[in-house]
Amino acid sequence: MIIAVDGPAASGKGTIARALAAHYDLPYLDTGLLYRAVGTNVVRGGGDPADPDAALAGCAFDDLLLRDAALRSEQAGAAASIVSAHPAVRAALIERQRDFAARPGGAILDGRDIGTVIAPHADAKLFVRASPTVRAQRRHAEMLTMGQSVSVDTLLAEIRDRDRRDCTRDAAPLVQAPDADLLDTSFLSIDAAVQRAIALVDARTAVRT
Ligand code: CDP
């Protein structure tokens, strides 16, 4: 079984995808981490993420970088959102993601274009969203646990900025696949969101566990 989970920043898609992976015992790939690694690689090398050549060169990152806590920062998220708009960067990362989706026992991937580009044939697709204000508050709380204090207003501005870039780019924009189930987590606890996600996947796949 392949499960695709897409949605904007801090919508809850990562938490939901990880919980689904545990529930269905599937391997999980956070594809945003790949774009974060590319963006961070470019910035650390002194390059400009907006430069297509520098961004493409950044795709040759060492996999150890994927474990670097710095990838979780807002700066890494912003750099990721810039490099991810280059079609050559998306093309360079596509095979790795499709190979993961094609694992014999199935897989779960989260990102922006999983249900539309990476695994359009997925058995179940969730499009997870939440209001920008709720997402900024969540990101704020998450960053406090990492010892980073950024105001909710700053985070809200960054989230709106990233949404605009992700939704308006030509290459694989963030858009709900026609056959994806919408899950709005604005007023749901994590537990309630996960239960709802499991119910939606079960309904799509008729799997009872
Ligand atoms: O965790 P959060 O949702 O904030 O971000 P992420 O999923 O780690 O993604 C960071 C950035 O990478 C996004 O803003 C997108 O621009 C880009 N991305 C993408 O273009 N396609 C994906 N499949 C995943 C991420």
Convert the pLDDT of each residue in 121-147 to its tens digit.
Answer: 999 999 999 999 999 999 999 889 888
Between the alpha carbon of residue 56 and those of residues 47, 48, 88, 169, the distances in Å are 11, 11, 6, 17
Contacts of 172 (CB under 8 A, 6+ apart): 90, 112, 113, 116, 117
Between the alpha carbon of residue 153 and those of residues 140, 142, 200, the distances in Å are 10, 15, 33
Residue 147, pLDDT score: 87
Beta carbons of 59 and 95 less than 8 angstroms apart? no
Range of the domain at 92: 2-208
Supply the residue whose CA is at minimum distance from atom 21 of ligand 1: 112
How many angstroms separate the CA atoms of 10 and 180, rounded? 19
Could you tell me how many helices (H) and strands (E) the chain has, helices first?
A: 8, 5
| CATH number for the domain harbouring residue 41 | 3.40.50.300
Element (H, E) at 208: none
Residue 143, pLDDT score: 86
User: What phi-psi label fits residue 122: left (phi over 0), alpha (psi between -120 and 50 degrees) or beta?
Assistant: beta
Tell me how far the alpha carbon of residue 208 lies from the centroid of ligand 1, in angstroms.
31
Tell me how far the alpha carbon of residue 176 lies from the centroid of ligand 1, in angstroms.
15
Lookup: tokens for 24: 């269905």
Residue 149, pLDDT score: 85
Tell me how far the alpha carbon of residue 9 lies from the centroid of ligand 1, in angstroms.
7
Beta carbons of 116 and 177 less than 8 angstroms apart? yes
Supply the residue whose CA is at minimum distance from atom 7 of ligand 1: 32
How many angstroms separate the CA atoms of 189 and 197, rounded? 12
Ligand 1: which of 81, 83, 118, 156 to mutate, most ligand atoms within 8 Å of CB?
81
Tell me how far the alpha carbon of residue 197 lies from the centroid of ligand 1, in angstroms.
20
Residue 95, pLDDT score: 97
Supply the residue whose CA is at minimum distance from atom 14 of ligand 1: 81
Overall number of domains in the chain: 1
Residue 206, pLDDT score: 82
Tell me how far the alpha carbon of residue 162 lies from the centroid of ligand 1, in angstroms.
9
Residue numbers of the chain with a pLDDT score lower than 50: 208-209
> Who lines ligand 1 at CB under 6 A?
9-10, 14, 31-32, 35-36, 77, 80-81, 84, 111-113, 162, 166
Residue 143 burial class via C-beta count within 10 angstroms: exposed 0-12, middle 13-18, buried 19 and up: middle
How many angstroms separate the CA atoms of 29 and 66, rounded? 11
